Amino acid sequence: MEFKDYYKILGVQKTATAEDVKKAYRKLARKYHPDVSKESDATARMVELNEANAVLSDPERRAAYDNLGNQTHAHGGQDFRPPPNWDAGFEFSDVAGDGADHSDFFEQLFGRAARGHRAQTRGGDFDAHPTLRGSDHHAKIELDLLDAYHGTERTIALRSARLDEEGRVVNEEHSLEVKIPKGIREGQHIRLSGRGSPGSGGAPPGDLLLEVCFKPDTRWRAEGRDVYQRVALSPWEAVMGGTSTVTIPGGEAEVSFPAGWKPGRKLRLKGRGIPGKEPGDLYLELDIVLPPADSDAERAAYAAMAKAFPAFNPRPRAGA
């Protein structure tokens, strides 16, 4: 396990005030928030930032962490193991119940596993929470949109940490088989009862809640139960209309394109979105694709078109 330099992660000095820590955290949280950041490692960086903030913004945890950092064995990059009673004289509450991801380093020092260890070694406060239900875990599961049309079964790997009999953090990797029913939507959750953190004092464990999201796909996208798909038309289909067999999610459909295409025009195939009691609709977004003009004959066809439309101006003046 590597020693984590939380000051370096937040980019602050060891003498930083609480206000300095808060400012640095917020600035970096904006940069690495996984919902908006374009940085490839945004999620991992955000976990580090949250941990660093959880420690450095709390006076008790920060004091214990500084005490540990001042001891000679704690150097970045080296295999690190906290000495027994590294936190003697400090008190802080368990923060692992917030359902957030934590590194092994954080879990060993401040997490739920560490709390159990402290209770064992000091006759600590486990009895103060005799029936504490285990916290729920939250994770995302990425599916293909087609899984929502057909249903599927997935094996997912999840990591969790526990303390072994010597008080060390042990990572366990669980493989879970999850049945995905037909009709699932993005943002829905799958609850795996009892697969969260263990409870204490005989209380039940928490649950694992898997949030469903769909993999980005250049062919189609879902919005709720409705699905959107781009369909390319040739210029003559766009102008004169036509009929064609189109591959859609879950099969094929015979589609009639009306004459007179306009930008942004959509065709709705009722009930061909994500299936369910009230199935969604499929919207075909119609686009024109120009045929290439590689040969003389093809270029001549474009030239003939230009002659046929002498008054056509694709760039009319604004206000004209």
Number of residues that bind other proteins (CB under 8 A): 44
Helix (H, G, I), strand (E, B) or coil at 90: coil
Which candidate, 87, 22, 30, places its Cα nearest to that of 57?
22
Tokens 């997490």 map to which residue? Answer: 111
Binding test (CB under 8 A) with other proteins, winner from 26, 75, 122, 268: 26
23 binds other proteins (CB under 8 A): no
Window of 2-10, 107-115, 222-230, 312-320 that interacts with other proteins by CB under 8 A:
222-230
CB nearer to other proteins: give 179 or 270.
179
Which candidate, 113, 200, 129, places its Cα nearest to that of 165?
113
185 binds other proteins (CB under 8 A): yes
CB 77 within 8 A of CB 8: no
CB nearer to other proteins: give 223 or 298.
223
CB nearer to other proteins: give 11 or 99.
99
* x-marked contacts with other proteins along 132-161 as a string, rule CB under 8 A: ----x-x-----------------------
Within residues 228-257, the interface with other proteins by CB under 8 A covers: 228, 230, 232
Distance in angstroms (rounded) separating the CA atoms of residues 231 and 261: 12
Distance in angstroms (rounded) separating the CA atoms of residues 81 and 104: 11
Distance in angstroms (rounded) separating the CA atoms of residues 9 and 19: 16
106 binds other proteins (CB under 8 A): no
Within residues 53-92, the interface with other proteins by CB under 8 A covers: none
* Side chain identity at residue 86, one-letter code: W
Binding test (CB under 8 A) with other proteins, winner from 78, 121, 171, 247: 171
Tokens 């509450």 map to which residue? Answer: 93
First to last CA, the chain: 70
Binding test (CB under 8 A) with other proteins, winner from 175, 243, 245, 313: 175
Window of 84-92, 96-104, 255-263, 298-306 that interacts with other proteins by CB under 8 A:
96-104
CB of 194 to other proteins, least distance (A): 9
DSSP secondary structure letters along 245-294: EEEETTEEEEEEEPSS--TT-EEEETT-SS-SSS---EEEEEEE-PPP--
Distance in angstroms (rounded) separating the CA atoms of residues 159 and 101: 10
CB nearer to other proteins: give 11 or 303.
11
Window of 8-16, 212-220, 234-242, 253-261 that interacts with other proteins by CB under 8 A:
212-220
CB nearer to other proteins: give 87 or 148.
148
266 binds other proteins (CB under 8 A): no
Helix (H, G, I), strand (E, B) or coil at 121: helix
Distance in angstroms (rounded) separating the CA atoms of residues 118 and 87: 9
Distance in angstroms (rounded) separating the CA atoms of residues 125 and 92: 11
Window of 81-89, 120-128, 213-221, 300-308 that interacts with other proteins by CB under 8 A:
213-221
120 binds other proteins (CB under 8 A): no
What tokens does 170 get? 């042990």
Q: Phi then psi for 209, rounded to 5 degrees?
A: -110, 115
CB of 170 to other proteins, least distance (A): 6
CB of 22 to other proteins, least distance (A): 8
Per CB under 8 A, residues contacting other proteins are 25-26, 29, 35-36, 97-99, 136, 138, 170-179, 181, 184-185, 187-193, 195, 209, 211, 216-221, 223, 228, 230, 232, 287
